[in-house]
Amino acid sequence: MNETATRHVTGEQVVARVKSLPPLPQVWHALDEALRNDTASSERVVRLIASDQGLTATTLKLANSPFYGVSGRVASVRDAVRVVGIQTLWAATVTTTAMARFDAAACPGFDMAGSWRHAFSTAVCAQFLAEPRGIDPCAAYTAGLLHDIGTLALATSFPEAFNETLSWAARHDVPPVDAERELLGIDHAVVGGLVANHWRLAPIVADAVRQHHEVPDGPSVTLADVVHLADSIVHALDVSHAADDLVPPLTISAWARVAPTMAELEQAFAHVEARLRHLDLGGLQ
């Protein structure tokens, strides 16, 4: 790493950009709270989604996608919830709500589809690992889905600097997070934590997003440990189909705290791949 880094972006600029992002709609927080408190009955989900025009449109579009075999015949949110299921609708809600706050056209070289395949798969894997360890599975799903939201923020807000970090990472054969730290003085995990705090996500989710590359030591397993491991597993599965995808360094202490068995890892692989096929055909992109 002998090259001199020229920083085109300052931490102050990143913070200012994050603070300018539109907030999440109130109905999003209501859905999140209902799911996390295990009060998300189908009827409550229907009422919450139906109260927001954008979420209603997303829900009906998803339910009418070819995957479900009822294309063009789902006309109500209630029928859509029955056809699609609450968990898949939550993925669609988080994904479309987050994406709508960024201008993807600002960075045409950014692989949005690959990014969200990775995010969705990390969410599924984190949820799979979380529940047996007493970690809130809904928080794990949300943190996994948004763990790289800082990458999207950097790519769309500072495309020139972001593309330079990708080039630098490729030249040095290192994960992008290392290039971000070298060239920008900040990385996507820290930026993601800022976004999560700005959006008033649960502190446990914001911490897991911020710490998913540098997990703090501790006596017991945490959500950050689970997301960190899920991220590495999904990178190893190469679900983004990126030619230069690298598995980020795995923190051994986090692995020891999560302590997955070989059978559990094999089940996680199969679970992620099955759910990913569902996503690709379900029309979330």
For 116-160, the pLDDT digits (tens) are 889 989 999 999 999 999 999 888 999 999 999 999 999 999 998
Long-range contacts of the stretch 140-144 (C-beta < 8 A, 24+): 140/223, 140/226, 140/227, 140/230, 141/87, 141/90, 141/91, 142/32, 142/94, 142/201, 142/202, 142/205, 143/204, 143/205, 143/208, 143/209, 143/212, 143/223, 143/227, 144/119, 144/227, 144/230, 144/231
Q: Is the pLDDT of residue 250 over 60?
A: yes
In angstroms, the CA 62 to CA 87 distance is 13
In angstroms, the CA 65 to CA 59 distance is 10
Alpha carbon 274 to chain centroid distance?
18
Q: Which of 141, 67, 66, 52 is nearest to 100 (CA)?
A: 52
In angstroms, the CA 205 to CA 211 distance is 10
In angstroms, the CA 193 to CA 211 distance is 8
Q: Is the pLDDT of residue 284 over 60?
A: no
In angstroms, the CA 158 to CA 12 distance is 13
Of residues 226 and 172, which shows the higher confidence score?
226
Mean pLDDT of the chain: 85
What residues does CATH 1.10.3210.10 cover in the chain?
A: 102-282
The predicted pLDDT at position 8 comes to: 66
Q: Which of 199, 178, 204, 200 is nearest to 189 (CA)?
A: 178
Structure tokens at 231: 């991220």
Q: What is the mean pLDDT of residues 40-44?
A: 76
Q: pTM (2 decimals)?
A: 0.85
Please name the amino acid found at residue 66: P
In angstroms, the CA 38 to CA 47 distance is 16
What is residue 146's DSSP assignment?
Answer: H
- Do 135 and 223 meet the contact criterion of CB atoms below 8 Å apart? yes
- The CATH class that applies to domain 102-282 reads mainly alpha
Phi-psi region at 248: left, alpha or beta (left = phi > 0; alpha = psi -120 to 50): beta
